[in-house]
Amino acid sequence: MRCWIKFRKTLSKPLRQLLLYLFLDMILIKSNADDYSTTQVVKWLKQYNADVLRLNDTTFLKDLKLHNNNVSFSYNDATIALSEVSKYWYRRGRWDTFQRKNLHQITDKTFHRYLNYFNKEAERDVVHTIETLLAEKSLNRHETSANINKLAVLASCKTLKIITPDTLVTNSKTVLKDFVVQHGEVITKAVNNLDPNIKGDVFADVMTKKITLETLAKLPERFNVSLFQNLVAKKFEIRTFFFIDTFYSMAIFSQNDDQTKVDFRNYNMKAPNRCVPYQLPTLLETKLRKLLEIYELNSASLDIIYTTEDEYSFLEINPIGQYDMTSKPCNYFLDEVIANYLSS
């Protein structure tokens, strides 16, 4: 395939238009600069000589033009039009349609706050328009992947008769105490999907944590709204990566290690959990497909527990979750699977 970005400037306009008509094959990827999985997929695509444009969260869309449902922007001294894109993969990260660093020059705090809010709202609408134009070519979208509502997902599970832990959202110590007394063992996790936040020497831990009556005694009467669930007794955990129509699942035997018992992401590097390929029941896969359809996701990681009662208890969807941890132990070669789809 031709590398459209490199050679387009040497071509006359009529020839560019003819080649665009004949060879609509640019793959657009939206990701973060440090995302390992994106880098691996791009390497596969380069092996296929595919024409790939990767936009990271730090890639500013210069000379952005949205006019009559046509969108274009500048990249490396070339003009890129969305009409040239054959496939779009939203992996993770935000679009950058305004230069945030310029806000640092504004000293008035009230004006800075207002302008930042205004720019974010405008950017949201612009990104919505961009991704709407790419909808039929998309592998996920920022709008559906970066802002998934955990509480709405749990409500959808009830409708689909997918088993989930008993869930409480509260900001009251009294209400939480009743929940702990009812269930005995309770955990807390983030209300929405967040990446661990690292600034300087400060690390905001978003791992799942156990709540006991001793922990409860340390809490104030009122706290920020938080999500709590009963701690489900498990035989093992399941991490599954859904792609287009296939579930790539892995069983994680985390229960016998105190370090990973509550959250397998508290990795024990000295004695890693045993991980093996796993096949979910057909009925559960059917229900999960319907769940993913509701949230317009054709790619996502899902966390499930196989309980001591021999039931499957669904925990959450993470559309931008890392899938390499499932791919490598199970030899699923998911980077190649994704690259094959994008280049097809």
Determine the Cα–Cα distance for residues 125 and 131; give it in Å rounded to an integer: 10
Q: Where in the chain is the domain with CATH 3.40.50?
A: 4-145
Helix (H) or strand (E) holding 204: strand 202-204
Residue 193's pLDDT is what? 67
Query: What confidence score (pLDDT) does residue 262 get?
Result: 52
Between 138 and 255, the more confident residue is: 138
Residue 200: predicted pLDDT: 52
Q: Which residue, among 243, 280, 145, 259, has the nearest Cα to 208 in the 3D structure?
A: 259
Q: What is the pLDDT of residue 196?
A: 52
**Is domain 166-231 in CATH 3.30.1490, yes or no?**
yes
Is the pLDDT at 103 greater than 60, yes or no? Answer: yes
How is residue 209 written in tokens?
């944590």
More confident residue, 96 or 98: 96
- Among 88-102, 117-131, 215-229, name the one with the lowest average pLDDT: 88-102
What is the model's pLDDT at position 228? 94
Question: What pLDDT is stored for residue 146 in this prediction?
Answer: 82
Arithmetic mean of pLDDT, 251-260 = 72
DSSP 149: -
Continuous H helices in the chain: 4-7, 13-22, 36-47, 109-133, 142-145, 150-160, 173-183, 213-217, 282-294, 324-330, 334-343
Tell whether the model's pLDDT for residue 153 goes beyond 80: yes
- pLDDT > 60? residue 261: no
**φ, ψ of residue 272 in degrees (nearest 5):** -60, 150
* 323 vs 241: CA distance, rounded Å: 6
pLDDT score of 9 more than 60 = no
123 token code pair: 């950017």
Lay out the sheet containing 299-307: strands in order across: 274-278, 246-253, 234-243, 299-307, 312-318
Q: What's the pLDDT score for residue 263?
A: 56
Which whole-number Å values give the CA distances from 246 to 10, 148, 240, 287, in the listed order? 42, 21, 10, 13
Match domain 4-145 to its CATH number in 3.30.160, 2.60.40, 3.40.50, 3.30.720: 3.40.50
CATH number, span 147-163+233-319:
3.30.470.20
Between 263 and 274, the higher pLDDT residue: 274
For the segment 110-146, what is each residue's pLDDT rounded down to a tens digit? 877 887 788 888 888 989 999 999 999 999 999 888 8
Q: Which pTM was predicted?
A: 0.83
Summarize the confidence of residues 90-116 as an average pLDDT.
79
Q: In this predicted structure, what is the pLDDT of residue 85?
A: 92
Question: Three-class SS of residue 48?
Answer: coil
- CA neighbor of 211 nearest in space, from 150, 164, 168: 168
Tell me: pLDDT of 230 over 60.
Answer: yes
Task: Reply yes or no on whether the pLDDT at 20 is more than 50.
Answer: no
Q: Kindly state the DSSP code that residue 60 receives in the 8-state scheme.
A: B
For residues 334 and 15, which has the higher predicted lDDT (pLDDT)? 334
Which pLDDT band holds residue 157 (cuts at 50, 70, 90)? very high
- Average pLDDT (14-34) is 69
Choose the weakest-confidence range: 143-157, 160-174, 277-291: 143-157
Any idea what DSSP says for residue 289?
H
Q: What is the mean pLDDT of the chain?
A: 85
Question: 14 or 30, which is more confident?
Answer: 30
pLDDT (0 to 100) of residue 49: 87
Residue 290 pLDDT: 98
pLDDT of 201 strictly over 70: no
**Res. 23: pLDDT tops 70:** no
For residues 275 and 288, the model is more confident at 288
Mean per-residue pLDDT for 7-28?
57
Q: Which residues contact 198 (CB under 8 A, 6 or more apart)?
A: 204
Percent of the chain with pLDDT over 90: 52
Q: Give mean pLDDT, residues 239-255.
A: 93
**What's the burial of 21, exposed, middle or buried (CB within 10 Å: 0-12/13-18/19+)?**
exposed
